[in-house]
Amino acid sequence: MKFNYNPIIYLSFAATLFVACGSTADILSTPIENIDTSPLKVTELTEAEKNNWGHLDLEKDTIPGMAVDRAYAELIKNKKGKKVIVAVIDSGIDIDHEDLDDVIWTNKDEIPNNGKDDDKNGYIDDIHGWNFLGDAYDEQLEYVRILASGNTSNPNYVAAQSKYDEEYQLWTGRKTQYDQIAQVIKNADETLAKHLGKKDYTIKEVNAIKTEDQTLLQAVQIAQNVNANGATLTEATSEINDILVQINERLNFNLNKSFSGRKTGDDINNLSDTGYGNGNVKPLKKDEAHGTHVAGIIAAERNNGKGANGVANNVEIMAIRTVPNGDEYDKDVALAIRYAVDNGAKVINGSFGKSFSPHADWVREAIKYASDNDVIFVHAAGNDSKNVDTEPNFPDDNVNYVEVSDTYIRVGSLAPKYGSKMVSSFSNYGNKNVDVFAPGSEIYSTVPENEYEANSGTSMAAPGVAGIAALIRSQYPNLSAAQVKQVILDSGLPLTTKVVVGGDASNVKPFSELSKSGKIANAYNALIMASKLK
């Protein structure tokens, strides 16, 4: 499932319904000995800082970004480096986006739209990558597939049933709550519009209403509550409708044991049944925005006066559509990784994951294949606020902590405010199975149809690190993938400050215990360290 965190926010209605809520040897790297004494940023982020905070610098800006802007200003400057192909295994990517169209990989050995496999790689007309999903988008979650199979002898069947019961109750409860909230807001809006004689009333006009009528008084209070949360009733209605779409998709598709989204006609349990799908790597609909957002974090065209800047300046994005609106299939992921490696990618980003993986060995073997072929695989840690040392999250690169790859990097998520709340409340963690942390909350990037928005998730943290990996491989192409991984982990900023974990104020741990490195990724320091290895 795509690791894109969209929290379900409960609006608060007082007494009404729910309360919720070259040589760089002479340049010094960021001094780490005193980094934990960095002053806290007491002012709110400006709009410019919000849209670029992941590229800022803890030492200079008191914002826990990756020091990307500093790296360009002081180290990279006009050094172009070698072109690097970065594969984005994700949902569809809008390859025509104004901020991505010049950084999309093209398979020069394939003749477009001739219906032939010109380069004999097993994929017909794979011009910009491959679409393993075909025309499908909505899908079940993996544990729902286990139940739908009816195979009670499956060793994961009991755990899948338990997970299903828990999640189905949660999401049906949310649907009931939000249906009620939507009705309350609709009634309030209609009551105020009727009283004021117009639909486009203002909060000032609402505040001026004097009445003893309890229905009207309640409508006024609801409008005032919503306004206190920064919205109008119209905006609240739109937000709640969007939430209800998510809830209904979860119930109608992800948790529906009778639903089948697969349309490619292949055998999902046969890894040798290949060639399915097609070469259309674009999203099926505008809402399929995850892959486009991830691609922009890595490589949105820099300094072109549009939208956002990617981390890496000399890359080509290979689009591999593999992740549906639901859980990805292990077969698709394993073949996608191998496709990326075989077609020249030097970095792969995987912003997806799940807690059940019937063919985890296929994916693990593909990750090893990437490592054996000098390719870095960067993976999002997940958004369950859990310790992935004790609770599984797939794909992974180890069996009982014995790693099969030395080029796999798992990334947790940071929020923009340095201090105790620096770790994103949703982020998974683990000092054995998470390698490093990077900016992942409210990251501004590209979405389909030449638009931009801020999204949150470890999905947004992983491509930041993938971008750093691409920068290093571009500037120092003689370094191996394993060396690049080690540079990223060793050059990060090691913080010992105590932080709230999983958004639980009672769970406070030293940041150094949340990942293998105990560090936050830092492009500036990474490039300096890479230059010395060169």
* Cα gap 412→517, rounded to integer Å: 11
Query: Tokens standing for 69?
Result: 């802007």
* Cα gap 9→240, rounded to integer Å: 9
Residue 514 neighbours by CB under 8 Å, 6+ apart = 412, 423, 429, 430, 431, 434, 437, 499, 501
Long-range interactions of 41-48: CB distance < 8 A, separation 24+:
41/417, 41/418, 45/416
Whole-number pLDDT of residue 298: 98
DSSP for 119-158, written as a single string = T-SS-TT-SSEEETTTT--B---HHHHHHHTT-TTSTTHH
* Beta strands, E only, 415-485: 436-439, 443-447, 451-455
* Cα gap 119→117, rounded to integer Å: 6
Whole-number pLDDT of residue 60: 85
Whole-number pLDDT of residue 39: 66
Whole-number pLDDT of residue 496: 84
* Cα gap 165→160, rounded to integer Å: 9
Quote the pTM value: 0.92
Q: How many other CB atoms sit within 10 Å of the CB of residue 190?
A: 13
Rg (CA), the chain: 24
Q: Where are the alpha helices (DSSP H) in 290-358?
A: 290-299, 330-342
The average confidence (pLDDT) of the chain is 92
Whole-number pLDDT of residue 29: 59
pLDDT < 50: residue spans in the chain: 9-26
Whole-number pLDDT of residue 18: 37
